[in-house]
Amino acid sequence: MTATPAFERDPARLARAFPADFTWGFATSAYQIEGAAAEDGRGTSIWDTFSRQAGSIADGSNGDIACDHYHRYAEDVRLMADLGARAYRFSTSWARVLPTGTGAINQPGLDFYQRLVDALLGAGVQPLINLFHWDLPQALQDRGGFANPQVVDWFTDYAALVASTLGDRVKDWMTFNEPAVFAFLGHADGIHAPGLRDWPTAIRVADNELRAHASAGRAIRGLVDGAKVGVAFDVNQVAAATESERDRVAASRWSSARDAWFLDPLFGRGYPALGLEAHREAGHLDGVELTEPPAGDLDYLGLNYYRRDSVRAHSDRAFDWEIGAVEGSEQTQMDWHVAPDGLRDTLLDLHRTYAPREIVVTENGAAYPDAVDPDGQVHDADRLAYLSRHVAAAAEALGAGVPLTGYHVWSLLDNYEWSLGYSRRFGLVHVDFDNQRRTPKDSARWYQRLVKEKELTLDLT
Ligand code: IFM
């Protein structure tokens, strides 16, 4: 591959690379947009609890109201359909349908998802249901959460409930979004719910996620004719911060201990040797009995891609390294290193290494500090350029033989960005959180043109 950025090479040709049935969509998640946290019998989730702990969220906010999507879903469905969406990836809130995680069903919660699915289908938008985007019912956390092996049965029963309710209309399913973020940021780093800082617990959580995926996947396939079941992995491009041997070794060990830690077992290879060595050396496996996790049988591999992560080692010791953007690189408001060609290369790597049947980009997007201008518009040129360059990189991967079948922008709406609260805007539609007004940004018009007219351009005039 040349070093010329993909977008500059031939945007018109790249846009034509996507087949007519390519699935263009938007992605969101329940806690980040729904609000209505105490309505219609919804139970408490670990994010309700965590966001109330002093110091956990940068702006002290929570998802109680968020984008008020629970009440405004019909407007939001109209909006996405108008923007050309062919698919919509959303998550169901476990605590909304099973307030204590198991047992008594909350029918109004299930009814909400029925209304949402019917509205989507009525608007010609295919639903893709993600069953777990980190908002575990608090009642289950009180019983050990994902560190308790019983979670495999709890999760399978929940998956079966949602699949038996919606499976007559929904064929596209996802068991987990970013299992590594949930396990590691929530249970080892403590910066996400449930806020634990214990590596052996995080390793147990990861292991149970793999088992829960395999078991719930079987349940969904048994209940839904023609179901496609996948997982969305956040695999960013991992690079050594410098040419030094130490940084290169650290980058390989990190990528194995994090990304391959989930992907290898799901594709039937067991835990990766390099990752095992790194976790063991760092003491993360102390007291943990790891047995071979079951393969996952993925119908598609979901890829959430945002950036290049550079690894700088402080010493030769495992996990004695820092990860982030290299100084001077182009960065989004998240301080993430913008690397569109990293999307192409990651897609190629995943295809070569695991040969999944299909790959779907289940998230890609960028946070920039946008505002509504006096002309009533949001001119988000940075996001538009970011997306154009990444879509072009995806087209290159497609051209090189990657079985890429869909692309979902993160996100439809500005929303609750976890521990950063409402301070980061990822939406193609601006949300004024004082009055819930939605304003499509320039990037929304750009997406509409891409999907409807196959135009990949930076010039919207
Ligand atoms: O907002 C998150 C989303 O919940 C999971 N993937 C990354 C997004 C941006 O940080």
- Residue 258 CA to its chain's centroid (Å): 15
Distance CA 61, CA 266 (A): 36
Helix (H, G, I), strand (E, B) or coil at 251: helix
Give the length of the chain: 461
Residues with CB under 6 Å of ligand 1 are 29, 32, 178, 304, 363, 410, 417, 426
Given a cut of 80, is residue 345 above it in pLDDT? yes
Half-sphere exposure of 174 (CA within 13 A, CB side): 31
Q: Find out whether the peptide bond into 443 is cis, omega within 30 degrees of 0.
A: no
Q: Quick check: 2 pLDDT over 70?
A: no
Three-class SS of residue 455?
A: coil
Top pLDDT among 3 and 432 is at 432
What does the pLDDT read at residue 456? 83
What's the CA gap between 148 and 144, in Å, rounded? Answer: 5
Identify which of 418, 419, 428, 431 to mutate to test ligand 1's pocket (most ligand atoms within 8 A of the CB): 418
Q: Which position among 34, 178, 209, 396 bears the catalytic label? A: 178
Catalytic status, residue 363: yes
Separation between Cα atoms, residue 416 and residue 138, nearest integer Å = 19
- Which residue's CA is the closest to the ligand 1 atom numbered 2? 417
Cα of 246 from ligand 1 centre, angstroms:
30
From 176, 417, 422, mutation site for ligand 1 pocket: most ligand atoms within 8 A of C-beta: 417
Other beta carbons within 10 angstroms of residue 247's beta carbon come to 18
391-439 pLDDT, tens digit per residue, is 999 999 999 999 999 999 999 999 999 999 999 999 999 999 999 999 9
Catalytic residue (one of 34, 209, 363, 417)? 363
Listed in sequence order, the DSSP H helices in 85-147 are 94-97, 107-122, 138-141
Ligand 1 geometric centre to CA of 417 (Å): 7
Tell me the per-residue pLDDT of 56-82, one tens digit each, with 9 for 90 and over: 999 999 999 999 999 999 999 999 999
The number of helices, as runs of H, and strands, as runs of E, in the chain is 17, 13
Q: Which pLDDT belongs to residue 14?
A: 81
The residue among 415 and 294 whose pLDDT is bigger is: 415
Q: Given the CA of residue 29, which atom of ligand 1 is nearest to it?
A: 4
Give the range among 37-41, 396-400, 456-460 with minimum mean pLDDT: 456-460
pLDDT > 90 in the chain, percent: 93
Contact 368, 332 (CB under 8 A): yes
**Which atom, in ligand 1's list, is nearest to the CA of 27?**
3
Supply the pLDDT for residue 12: 76
pLDDT value of position 425: 98
92-135: per-residue pLDDT in tens? 999 999 999 999 999 999 999 999 999 999 999 999 999 999 99
Amino acid sitting at position 327: E
Q: Which atom of ligand 1 is nearest to the CA of 363?
A: 6
Which of 410, 415, 416, 423, when mutated, tests ligand 1's pocket best, judged by the most ligand atoms within 8 Å of its CB? Answer: 410
Q: Do 397 and 344 form a contact (C-beta atoms < 8 A)? A: yes
Q: How many angstroms separate the alpha carbon of residue 334 from the centre of ligand 1?
A: 11
Does residue 3 carry a pLDDT above 70?
no
Q: Identify whether the C-beta of residue 359 lies closer than 8 Å to the C-beta of residue 344.
A: no
Q: Give nearest CA residue, ligand 1 atom 10.
A: 417
Confidence of residue 1 (pLDDT cuts 50, 70, 90): very low
Q: What is the pLDDT of residue 5?
A: 63
Q: What does pLDDT average to over the chain?
A: 96
Q: How far, in Å, CA of 407 to CA of 49, rounded?
A: 33
pLDDT at 230 over 60: yes
The alpha carbon of 397 and the centre of ligand 1 are apart by a number of angstroms equal to 23
pLDDT at 461: 67
